[in-house]
Chains A and B, each alone.
Chain A
Amino acid sequence: MPTDVENWKSEVYGNEIRDRLFEFAEEGFDSIPDDERDAWFERFKWWGLYHQRNGQEGYFMMRIGTPNGVLEPGQLRTVGEIADEYARGPGVNPIFGGAYADFTTRQSIQLHWIELSDVPAIFEKLEENGLSTQQACGDSWRNIVGNPVAGKDGQEVIDAWPVISELNETFKGNDDHANLPRKWKVSVTGSADGSGQGDINDLAFEPAYKAVGGGSGGDGAGGETEDTVGFNVRVGGGLARNEPRFARDIDVWVPPDRVPDVAGGLSALFRDYGDREDRYNARVKFLVDEWGADEVRETLQEEYVDFELETAGRDVREEYTYNAGEGERNDLIGVHDQKNGENFVGLNVLVGRMGADDVLELADLAEEYGSGEVRLSQRQNVVVTDVPDDALDEFLDEPLLDHYSPSPSPFMRGSVACTGTEFCSLSIVETKNRQVRFARWLKANVDLPDDVDEFHIHLSGCTASCAQPQIADVSLRGMKTRKDGDPVEALDVGLGGGLGEDPQFARWVTQRVPVDEVPGALANLVESFAAERDEGESFRAFVARYDDDELDALVEPEETDYEDPMMHNTKRTWYPYAEDDAMEDAPPTPADD
């Protein structure tokens, strides 16, 4: 039997939601009939609006999809101005202030505290400036991700930006692909560093060479034609719900001009064969589990494309370093060469959150020193592009870069956090404010070996895994426990995850550590790593040498001088976070004017 969500989608979904959304915005939040609210809140997601958690009725998170994380000149300013004017709630975040933007692990932007009545004005401003919230959430093509410096990166195998742009044009607002069984996450990567993170997406296009029209395609030797650069295809990756999967190789190589055909074919396959009766089983990863990669390929060939699919080409996965825990370029922080001789500069945005004033100042700097363009990475950071050599030193001396550093502490650099209980219904614990406190404490109190300049710690509030915890050196996931008999927020600790040529999910080795003991546990873990590692050994390689029990013994939870003001139930409390679980202090509902 179809779910409620499927029934609502069958009635109204996709582009047509917008008219009703605007009517509700004009008539006021209370004009949404009580018995239709569940349905409309579900539909609004398709237009990037997500009703905030219980206790924040009437306020929405708004997600702006920026394909491949590309913000063209002027667009970051637009985001900053909207955040400053509209993303102000009744409370002031103790760390980030009153208005801010969140850069996400899928190269999108999230604003909070948006009121329904402001949506038409925000949409108008976004769209005047080439931005959109369309399909940023909901059961359809989500924001397409990839290497954010596509087209500029000196390490590029193929420029994926034209391919991503075409996919975005083709599948955003496309009625044939607007209503899928579940979300559909696509990655297209053209660089050799693996920074598109295709392995954790529903559909991934990864750079690969193929001798088309002759030869083996293996190494090109003996082929009658030269290698052509295109993409290998993987399907069925994802991290959520304790069911992580890496995308499976379906033995297909596709030239750039055929990518929309193959992507559309696989999207249609998912639309037609995905599970619409059980949302927990709806993601395409479960279909790939059930069918196997061979059957996916056969069905794609027989039912969804009208040309002969090529077998997989020679990939460049052995060069992947992004989020790999090893190698030179685990992220895009710092100064890097562009193909045209200019530079791109990756700046660290701790947990991806930037105050509206800083967003506007960064937009100024991007215009002053670069082309005005800014790009977003999947590690929640920003990249300022097109900075010429003769402007580089002056740019790096800008005071704003004291806060958003191109050479941050490893603990600042490696911190990723999801939204958490501050706004999210599903999260079990507070995340962003906490991860900031963790990073600051670790920076002040823990020394990594001198040759270790990256150490990734990802904090996710629940098993939805929006912070991608399974692919970090240290994975933290929200839980609860009791401490001295009282319920407190806690974290499960996983170790040794990462992408690269041979991706590995973190192993969950220690469960339910009270949050105030986590920094001490990490300090003890790093101390053991520093003392016991082989010379030059990475943390990921170090972890791989031990079994789970041995690793559990290295994670020694311990109280320190770290203090956590968010120990108790942050789903019920509010700024500045009370110590009393009984507190039911929610922010006021917006006036319906």
Chain B
Amino acid sequence: MTTRLRVLDDGAWISVNDGREVRVSELWRLDAPELCECALTDLVVENFQSVGVDGSTVEVRAYGQCIACGATGTTGWIPVGRVRGGEFTELDRSAVRRVRR
């Protein structure tokens, strides 16, 4: 089954099968030492740069800022949810996310 993934509206959200599923302005906890030196990056997501898929996992590269240290940048590929049977399920927003590649 094909899943349509898109970054739309100037990177404001991720469309999965033509539905608005993941949005900017959320705070994500990241294990992303390449982005900043905080033990966990506390990233406010300002816009999405790209979206992809690894198996059933939907991943994004997002631009944002760590609100703990102020570092800004674009992340590596970070999981945001899974597609099973054509249905998208967003990851728990409070979970710590790790850069996968």
Contact = CB atoms under 8 A, between A and B. Distances in A.
Interface of A: 4-5, 34-38, 42, 54, 279-280, 421, 425-429, 462-464, 478-482, 487, 490, 511-512, 569, 571
A425 B47 CA distance: 10
Interface stretch (B11-19, B30-38, B75-83): B11-19
Interface string B35-71: 0000000101011010000000000000001010010
Contacts of A478: 25
Contacts of A42: 8
Given A42-B8, A482-B67, A512-B67, A35 B23 contact: no
B20 interface: yes
Nearest to B65: A479
Given A480-B67, A482-B67, A34 B17 contact: yes
Given A34-B17, A428-B25, A480 B6 contact: no
Given A35-B17, A462-B46, A571-B25, A426 B6 contact: no
B67 A479 contact: yes
B92 interface: no
A280 B7 CA distance: 12
B10 interface: yes
Given A38-B18, A279-B10, A280-B11, 16 more contacts: A34-B17, A42-B8, A280-B49, A425-B12, A425-B13, A426-B9, A426-B24, A428-B46, A462-B24, A462-B46, A464-B10, A478-B25, A480-B25, A480-B27, A512-B70, A571-B25
B67 A4 contact: no
A4 B18 CA distance: 12
Nearest to A481: B67
A36 B4 CA distance: 11
A37 B67 contact: no
B58 to A, nearest CB: 15
A463 B17 contact: no
B67 A571 contact: no
Interface majority SS (helix, strand, loop, mixed), chain A: mixed
B18 A34 contact: yes
A69 B46 CA distance: 31
A430 to B, nearest CB: 11
Given A35-B4, A480-B44, A54 B17 contact: no
B23 A54 contact: yes
B27 A487 contact: yes
Contacts of A464: 10
Interface residues on B, range: 20 to 34
B67 A426 contact: no
9 contacts: A4-B8, A35-B17, A54-B13, A426-B12, A428-B44, A428-B46, A482-B42, A512-B67, A571-B23
A4 B6 contact: yes
A244 to B, nearest CB: 15
A513 to B, nearest CB: 11
Contacts of A511: 70
A421 B25 contact: yes
A36 B13 contact: no
Contacts of B46: 428, 462-463
Contacts of A463: 46-47
A338 B9 CA distance: 42
A428 B67 CA distance: 13
B15 A38 contact: yes
Given A4-B6, A35-B4, A463-B46, A428 B24 contact: yes
A54 B67 contact: no
A377 B9 CA distance: 27
B101 to A, nearest CB: 20
B5 to A, nearest CB: 10
A235 B72 CA distance: 29
B9 A425 contact: yes
Contacts of A426: 9-12, 24, 47
B45 to A, nearest CB: 9
A427 B23 contact: no
The listed residue with most B CB atoms (<10 A of its CB), out of A425, A487, A512, is A425
A566 B25 CA distance: 14
Q: When A and B form their complex, which 8 residue pairs have the shortest distance between CB atoms, in order from nearest?
A: A425-B12, A480-B44, A428-B25, A426-B12, A37-B18, A54-B20, A487-B27, A481-B67
A280 B25 CA distance: 18
Contacts of A279: 10
Contacts of B11: 280, 426
A85 to B, nearest CB: 28
Nearest to A55: B20
A429 B67 CA distance: 15
Contact of A425 (B23, B49, B70): B23
Contacts of B27: 480, 482, 487
A136 to B, nearest CB: 16
Nearest to A426: B12
Nearest to B44: A480
Nearest to A54: B20
A569 B44 CA distance: 12
A244 B9 CA distance: 19
Contacts of A462: 24-25, 46
